Amino acid sequence: KEHIAEVEKFTTKAKEDIENFRIKYLGKKGLLKEFFAEFKNVPNEQKKEFGQIVNQLQKAAQEKVNALKEVLENNVEEKSVYGDLTRPAEPIEIGARHPISLVKNQITDIFSRIGFNVSEGPEIEDDWHNFTALNLPEYHPARDMQDTFFIQTNPDILLRTHTSSVQVRYMENNQPPIRTISPGRVYRNEVISARSHCFFHQIEGLYIDKDVSFADLKQTLQHFTKEMFGKSKIRLRPSYFPFTEPSAEIDVYWGLETETDHKITKGTGWLEIGGCGMVDPNVLTNCGIDPEEYSGFAFGVGIDRIAMLLHQIGDIRLLSENDVRFLAQFKSAL
Ligand code: PHE
């Protein structure tokens, strides 16, 4: 048994020492030969234990010789059971978040802090959820406002043109109070250029409760733009959407008054980021909510627009081309 301990402790880097060690234990006149010869003299009741120990010793000696030789030949450190703890780690290539995801996460964070949850829905929609429930009956001229990609007609199946369709689904399945935001990809049959694409990303918000007013809408948007852009002003320009009344476009005045050196593309500094309004009572009725009891507001902003503004991206196509030279620039962003 002491021999086994000795064998396990033994270490050297010299070739001759390994050879001497081998001869001492495993050689023709080595210790093991002796032990095996001794075997016949061992009393019967001890034979089993003796045999086991000698076998163990032989194995340990052979393994040690092999291991030492390997160290010598390959010039590597003797392996510990944990592997080589001094070996430097391989550098891990870390990717970057996409600017669309960055901005989407920022927006959902801002709204979740004021009690909004996140809802999602399908990108392939039926006519009801994208149009009819939103107060756009068939042949309504406002359907032309959104150049739709149809997958099938009669019954119509299409690529959603806005995430308002998710809000319809949400209202159909939940009673007020409702506070939800719906981010997602939307599609419109538009000519692709630096400023517009046939798909982009929206985040729409919906708030329905008793006594919700236009003042609540404006305050909420003001809070959002302040969190998003820092010191900022918003302007609501009267507009028209079939699903809201009254309706407005949301402009944000950003950059010139902030202490940054970001350039503003237009001289005035006002940039349109989306639309909003008070949910039309017809929409509430269509979705099973009583407009006598409840009122609410809705808004929708373009994620791509905001990402382009915040990160000074000059061409919307960069957002979907997957050029690593572009994407790698967002590595430090969280
Ligand atoms: N759905 C509108 C669009 O796609 C945006 C909007 C949402 C307007 C909610 C008003 C209220 O442009």
Ligand 1 mean position to 276 CA, how many Å?
A: 6
* Residue 245 marked in a binding site: yes
Answer yes or no: is the C-beta of 107 below 6 A from any ligand 1 atom. Answer: no
Instruction: Tell the residue nearest (CA) to atom 4 of ligand 1.
Output: 162
Ligand 1 mean position to 240 CA, how many Å?
A: 10
pLDDT, one tens digit per residue, over 250-263 is 998 866 444 444 55
Confidence of residue 153 (pLDDT cuts 50, 70, 90): confident
Answer yes or no: is the C-beta of 283 below 6 A from any ligand 1 atom. Answer: no
140-154, 167-181, 301-315, 320-334: least confidently modelled range = 140-154
Mean pLDDT, rounded, for 234-250: 94
Confidence of residue 31 (pLDDT cuts 50, 70, 90): confident
Beta strand ranges found along 82-132 (DSSP E) = 117-118, 124-126
How far apart (Å, rounded) are the C-alpha atoms in residues 175 and 328? 44
Among 182, 150, 154, 135, which residue's Cα sits nearest to residue 287?
135
**Positive/negative CA dihedral, 270, 271, 275, 276:** negative
pLDDT, one tens digit per residue, over 255-308 is 644 444 455 444 457 888 999 999 999 999 999 999 999 999 999 999 999 998
- Tokens at 306, concatenated: 């905001």
> How many C-beta neighbours within 10 Å does residue 139 have?
6
* Largest interatomic CA distance in the chain: 110
Contact 201, 302 (CB under 8 A): yes
pTM (two decimals): 0.70
How far apart (Å, rounded) are the C-alpha atoms in residues 51 and 48? 5
Contact 289, 171 (CB under 8 A): yes
Q: How confident is the model at residue 218, as a pLDDT?
A: 95
As a whole number, the mean pLDDT across the chain is: 87
Token match 């305050």: residue?
Answer: 219
Ligand 1 mean position to 161 CA, how many Å?
A: 10
Answer yes or no: is the C-beta of 130 below 6 A from any ligand 1 atom. Answer: no
Ligand 1 mean position to 255 CA, how many Å?
A: 25
How far apart (Å, rounded) are the C-alpha atoms in residues 106 and 180? 15
Answer yes or no: is the C-beta of 275 below 6 A from any ligand 1 atom. Answer: yes
pLDDT, one tens digit per residue, over 32-76 is 888 888 888 888 888 888 888 888 888 988 888 888 888 777 765
How far apart (Å, rounded) are the C-alpha atoms in residues 142 and 127? 14
Q: How confident is the model at residue 81, as a pLDDT?
A: 64
135 burial level (CB within 10 Å; 0-12, 13-18, 19+):
buried
Nearest atom, ligand 1, residue 163 CA? 1
